[in-house]
Chains A and B, each alone.
Chain A
Amino acid sequence: MNGMDYDVIVLGGGVTGCAAARELARYQLKCCLMEREEDVCSGTSKANSAIVHAGYDAVPGSRKARFNVEGNAMMGPLSEELDFEFQRNGSMVLCFSKDEEGGLQTLYERGQANGVPDLRILTGDEAREREPNLSDQVTAALLAPSGGIVCPFGLTIALAENACENGVEFLLNTEVQAVEPADGGYRVRTSRGDYTARFVVNAAGVYADVFHNMVCEDKIHITARKGDYCLLDKEAGGHVSHTIFQLPGKYGKGVLVSPTVHGNLLLGPTAVDVEDKEGTATTAAELADVTAKTAMSVKNIPYNKVITSFSGLRAHEDGDDFIIGESAEGFFDAAGIESPGLSSAPAIGAYLAEQIAAKAGAEKKPDFQPVRKGIPRVSQMDPEARAALIRQRPEYGTIICRCENISEGEIVDAIRRRPGAVSLDGVKRRVRQGMGRCQAGFCMPRTMEILSRELGIPMEEIRKNGPGSEILVKEGGEA
């Protein structure tokens, strides 16, 4: 490696970085992934629409179009290989007047040009036949059977675990401060020291412009575009079966109503550009906007069944397309990854890995292990298998989270896997503890005890997510 620490350093442990890491792990390359937070899937990848888009939105010829359609096609086999939740529930784009139907036609044509399979335009009545709760105002709808829903945490963590198993090092709690050319490669200065590598993959989400601009001649600019969401109880999960969009506007694909793979109902997002790249506070105005806009698409949404609201930041680049590929010698961008980034991630990861491997002249590893088994979802197992598992490991028989029926064994697994959960949110994203209707009211103290025991740290050091988010306060000292 010419004295370099690594062949490749991936900046960012979101879905794009993890996908790149997992694909790079196929090759004989020494790789590491750096993440500022304590865990992967801590930024945009944890707070989004959880949609695998069909690929009719993006302008033909754009990188968004290409990677979306490719990523969509990869998602099915990948979900089998890596054992995460994915469902092809189909999506619909609604329009509410004759004037808008041209817009629907444009999407249809784009979809055809992008190679989206089985698109159809339905009349309002045909659409309502498939989705009885659609608004009476709907005059036509574009149906895309290949649209899907995915667990964004499940996907990202599965990619990370598989990359880790195949030799990628994960440097968490590692904030990258600078990237500078050095000896035919790059020196990456971080909060935990300097590291060198021949290649860098920039998958730094809303901060990708910062690192790009440190290295590349042509500058880019990323705006954090915030979206607020409301998540409804599983009682409301069957309100629609397809993902329901409205015709896209200037700020993206508009507000959707969608079931989630876990059976909840998701409403959102709004779209507001924010100055602060950490500005994930929801606002009353935007939450009200979610309600108003979703009510236009779908009738009788039981808004009183909301169990949580949250917001996420999309990394919007001024050029309105993904920036993917070698932007400077050995510096590979995956920047401006806003929607359909989640859908595109597997394809982006594969593309970047191929490019880098070719450039490095790296061979494939003969012992790459592509299959990853997820943590057993005990409550969904058939009774015999569940009973057998509990006999083998009794901690799968102690239910900690009542609402989602999550056992101690699953929580222990979430902590012991690599990269593993180190906080309540990390456990929650891996096994859904606390994600149900009581939002961890009952199980939080128990989960904290398990974290404390498994990590060998006192209860006072258990965090929600990251430094400063300790749940308890120490006696006497500062909070």
Chain B
Amino acid sequence: MKTHDIVIIGGGPAGLAAAAAARKAGAEDILILERDQMLGGILNQCIHNGFGLHTFKEELTGPEYASRFIRMVEEEQIPCRLNAMVVSITKDKEITYVSREEGLVTIQAKAIVLAMGCRERPRGALNIPGYRPAGIFSAGTAQRLVNMEGYHVGREVVILGSGDIGLIMARRMTLEGAKVKVVAELMPYSGGLKRNIVQCLDDYGIPLKLSHTVVEIHGRRRVEGVTLAQVGPDRKPIPGTEEYYSCDTLLLSVGLIPENELTRGMGASMNPVTSGPRVNDRLETDVEGVFACGNVLHVHDLVDFVSEEAALAGESAAAFVKAQEEAGKAAAEPEGHAVCLQAENGVRYTVPQTLDIRNMRDTVTVRFRVGDVFKDRYVAVYYDDQLISRRKKKVLAPGEMEQVVLKKESFLPYPDVKKITIRTEVE
């Protein structure tokens, strides 16, 4: 069986950034396994701009952003296998993949970076009553057909869900000549970025109906229309508010789900809120030497943060391999002191979920999302019961990822801290 130091599962933005960072950190033997025909992942279909403002200080399209990282990987001559679908990973880091050229191959990794991304929630998961005709697409599927393959998916469109892909597709479909009649959102707020609502809906006069959902799909062979209804605070349709929209296409942008079949298969513990694995401050899962980053870990809003997070996973994997090789030679790290992070009072989750205050880097970025729209709230950090920091935010929204940066030195006065809490506070 062939052995590699680091095997990266997925050649999208997370996998590419992890590979580049691992190489920079000194890892020599890296392999990227990508199931699609090309590197770049979902960025290849995101032909709109707005990527890279944080990373490159300029506005790039998705393919441009991806190509910067692909170039890094090529310059570093990091090998990739394309059309290589990983079918299983064991706890002992044996990876089995299948490809046309190589057949079924099992390799041994010393460290693994999980970067498989996420998938869209399908229509079926919503249990929308009615027929099951053609013309219902998840927004990303439509995006691929339109942007990468150059086809038209519909002329009169209703979009359910105001996730970012749905908003982007509202604009794209409009530019392609389709009439986007309405975007309906079940929640009383949008799940997407504010800038996307402005640039993709408002600029084109597309109405956004909050607290609305599709209650029936009409049309036997192809969608002929949908019925929308307003929902109450319990998210149940309010009788009498039904409104019929004729359309030939229904796009769904109703949530993204990290693709963690492989992660579960190897027995890593999962976080039910993120649907990603539980990780420590090095982004290591509880399977030693297996790291995770990007949308497989938790769904991100901006790819720039994916790249940043993935770089940490790549560096951590490189450090892990190095430490393994040097075990016995060098002095071992001081014994760790892992502290749990707790999300509270409006904060839905944190990534990472644990932090080793003795062996952490100088700073650790903790990312999180809130569960509702909050105005003029504080984001507070506590070490046990001690308030450490409080920062006022004009708006906190579920569609936008938030972060706090924890400094290693801030723990000096609290060497025995048991719990780090991140919560929102009104006053």
User: Taking the nearest CB of chain A, how far is it from the CB of B38, in angstroms?
Assistant: 13
Report yes or no: B98 in contact with A308, Cβ–Cβ below 8 A.
Answer: no
Complex Cα gap A342–B135 (Å): 31
Does A473 lie within 8 Å of B153, measured CB to CB? yes
**Nearest Cβ distance between residue B24 and chain A, in whole angstroms?**
31
> What B residues does A438 contact at CB under 8 A?
119-120, 122
- CA A465 – CA B216 in complex, angstroms? 20
Choose from A390, A464, A466, A473 the contact partner of B155 (Cβ within 8 Å): A473
Once the chains bind, are B100 and A473 in contact (CB under 8 Å)? no
Q: Nearest chain A CB to B128's CB is how many angstroms away?
A: 8
Which of B103, B124, B152 interacts with A309 by CB under 8 Å? Answer: B124
> Residues 41-81 of chain A: 1 if any B CB is under 8 Å from the residue's CB, otherwise 0?
00000000000000000000000000000000000000000
Stretch in contact with the other chain, from A245-253, A274-282, A346-354: A274-282
- The one of B83, B87, B100, B145 that contacts A405, using a Cβ cutoff of 8 Å: B87
Other-chain residue from B99, B122, B151 in contact with A460 (beta carbon distance below 8 A): B151
Query: Which residue of chain B has its CB nearest to the CB of A439?
Result: B122
For A465, what are the chain B residues with a Cβ–Cβ distance below 8 Å? Answer: 134, 221
Chain A residue contacts of B123, Cβ below 8 A: 308, 439
- B205 lies within 8 A of chain A by Cβ: no
A383 to chain B, nearest CB (A): 5
* With known contacts A438-B119, A467-B221, A390–B103 Cβ distance under 8 A: yes
A299 interfacial contact with B, CB 8 Å: no
Cβ-based interface call for A470 (8 A): yes
**Residue among B103, B119, B140, B248 with most chain A CB within 10 A:** B103
Q: Which residues of B contact A326 (CB under 8 A)?
A: none
Residues of B within 8 A of A99 (CB): none
A224-241 Cβ-contact flags toward B at 8 Å (1 or 0):
000000110000000000
Does B151 contact A306, Cβ atoms closer than 8 Å?
no
A287 CB-CB contact with B under 8 Å: yes
Inter-chain contact A307/B98, CB cutoff 8 Å: no
Which residues B86-109 have CB closer than 8 A to chain A? Answer: 87, 96, 98-104, 106
Decide if B129 touches A282 in the complex (CB within 8 Å): yes
Taking a contact as CB atoms under 8 Å apart, the answer to whether A445 and B129 are in contact is: no
- Known: A398-B100, A473-B153, A473-B248. Is A464-B120 also a contact (CB below 8 A)? no
Given A441-B120, A441-B140, A445-B141: A284 touches B129 (CB 8 Å cut-off):
yes
Binary A-proximity of B144-178 (CB < 8 A = 1, otherwise 0): 11000101111100000000000000000000000
Which B130-147 residues have C-beta < 8 A from chain A?
130-135, 138, 140-141, 144-145
Closest CB in chain B relative to A399 CB, distance in Å: 4
The residue of chain A having its C-beta at the shortest distance from the C-beta of B119 within the complex is A438
Whether the Cβ atoms of A442 and B220 lie closer than 8 Å is no
A394 touches B120 (CB 8 A): no
Q: How far is the CA of A367 from the CA of B15 in the complex (A)?
A: 57
Cβ proximity bits A456-479 to B, threshold 8 Å, 1 near / 0 not: 000110011111111111110001
How far apart sit A471 and B102, CA to CA, in the bound complex (Å)?
A: 33
Question: Nearest chain-A residue to B151 (Cβ)?
Answer: A472
Contact A397 B101 (CB under 8 A): yes
Q: Is the CB of A280 within 8 A of B131?
A: yes
With a cutoff of 8 Å between Cβ atoms, the chain A residues found around residue B216 in the complex are 281, 284
| B215 on the A face (CB < 8 A) | yes
Which residues B268-317 have CB closer than 8 A to chain A? none
* B102 nearest in chain A by CB position: A397
Q: Is B101 a contact of A394 with CB atoms below 8 Å?
A: yes
Tell me, yes or no, whether B77 is within 8 Å of chain A by CB. no
Task: Tell me the complex Cα distance, A379–B151, Å.
Answer: 32
Checking B104, B138, B222, B261 against A468 with a beta-carbon cut-off of 8 angstroms, the contacting residue is B222
Question: Are A479 and B85 closer than 8 Å at their CB atoms?
Answer: no
CB distance from A447 to the nearest CB of B (A): 11
Q: Shortest beta-carbon distance, A95 to chain B, in Å?
A: 29
Interface string of B234-267 (1 = CB under 8 A from A): 0001000000000010000000000101000000
Give the distance in Å from the alpha carbon of A308 to the alpha carbon of B131 in the complex: 12
B151: chain A residues at CB < 8 Å are: 459-460, 472
**A445–B37 Cα gap in the complex (Å)?**
13
Q: Are B127 and A281 in contact (CB under 8 A)?
A: no
The verdict on A444 contacting chain B, using a C-beta distance below 8 Å, is: yes
Interface residues of A in 158-214 (CB under 8 A from B): none
Taking a contact as CB atoms closer than 8 A, the residue among A307, A397, A471 that contacts B122 in the complex is A307
Which chain B residue lies CB-closest to A443? B141
B85 to chain A: which residues have CB within 8 Å?
A: 399, 402, 405
Chain B interface, number of residues (Cβ within 8 angstroms):
48
User: In the bound complex, do residue B99 and residue A281 qualify as a contact, i.e. CB atoms below 8 Å apart?
Assistant: no
Question: For the complex, is B212 an interface residue (Cβ under 8 Å from A)?
Answer: no
B98 touches A399 (CB 8 A): yes
Query: Interface size class for chain A?
Result: 35 or more
Q: Which residues of A contact B101 (CB under 8 A)?
A: 394, 397
Q: Which residue of B lies closest to A398 (CB)?
A: B100
CA distance A28 to B256 in the complex (A): 57
Q: Is B125 an interface residue (CB 8 A)?
A: yes
Contact B134 A463 (CB under 8 A): yes
Query: What separation, in Å, do the CA atoms of A464 and B248 have in the docked complex?
Result: 14
Contact of A471 among B83, B125, B134 (CB under 8 A): B134
Smallest CB-CB separation from B237: which chain A residue?
A284
Within 8 Å by CB of A398, from B99, B152, B154, lies B99
Contact (Cβ within 8 A) A469 B221: yes
Say yes or no: is B110 at the interface (Cβ < 8 Å to chain A): no
Q: Which residues of A contact B144 (CB under 8 A)?
A: 445
Residue A395 is within 8 A (CB to CB) of chain B in the complex? yes
How long is the Cα–Cα vector from A479 to B133 in the complex, in angstroms? 13
A386 nearest CB neighbor, chain B only: B104
Q: Which residues of B contact A407 (CB under 8 A)?
A: 98
Whether the Cβ atoms of B125 and A390 lie closer than 8 Å is: no
Bound Cα distance from A155 to B120, whole angstroms: 32
Q: Is B369 an interface residue (CB 8 A)?
A: no
Does A368 sit within 8 A of B, measured CB to CB? no
Contact call A397/B124, Cβ cutoff below 8 A? no
B100 near A282 (CB under 8 angstroms)? no
User: Which residues of A have CB within 8 Å of B145?
Assistant: 445, 472
Query: Which A441-457 residues sit within 8 Å CB-CB of chain B?
Result: 441-442, 444-445
**In the complex, chain B residues whose CB is within 8 Å of the CB of A387:** 103-104
Given contacts A468-B222, A472-B151, A473-B152, contact A281 B131 (CB under 8 A): yes
Closest residue to A463 on the B side, CB-wise? Answer: B134
Cβ contacts under 8 Å, B261 to chain A: 403
Whether B134 and A469, one on each chain, are in contact in the complex, defined by CB atoms closer than 8 angstroms, is: yes
Assess whether B35 is interfacial by the CB under 8 Å rule: yes
Whether A365 sits at the interface, judged by CB under 8 Å, is no
Q: Which residues of A contact B131 (CB under 8 A)?
A: 280-281
| In the assembled complex, A283 has its CB within 8 A of some CB on chain B | yes
Which chain A positions have C-beta within 8 A of B102?
Answer: 397
- List of A residues within 8 angstroms of B134 by Cβ: 463-465, 469-471
Contacts of A479 in B (CB 8 A): 154-155, 222, 248
Please determine whether B222 and A281 come into contact, CB atoms closer than 8 angstroms: no
Closest to A306 in B: B127
Nearest to B218 among chain A residues (CB) is A281
Contact A283 B87 (CB under 8 A): no
With contacts A399-B85, A469-B222, A472-B153 taken as known, whether A287 is within 8 angstroms of B100 at the C-beta atoms is no
18 A-B residue pairs with Cβ-Cβ distance under 8 Å, sorted by A, are A231-B124, A284-B129, A310-B132, A386-B103, A391-B103, A395-B100, A399-B85, A405-B85, A405-B87, A439-B122, A444-B141, A445-B149, A466-B221, A467-B221, A468-B222, A469-B134, A471-B153, A475-B152
What 9 A-B pairs are tightest by C-beta distance, nearest first?
A308-B124, A468-B221, A439-B122, A399-B85, A464-B134, A390-B103, A469-B221, A469-B134, A397-B100
Known: A307-B125, A468-B221, A469-B222. 18 other contacts (CB 8 A): A282-B130, A284-B237, A287-B129, A307-B124, A308-B124, A309-B124, A310-B132, A379-B87, A386-B103, A390-B103, A398-B100, A402-B259, A441-B140, A445-B149, A468-B220, A469-B133, A472-B153, A479-B154
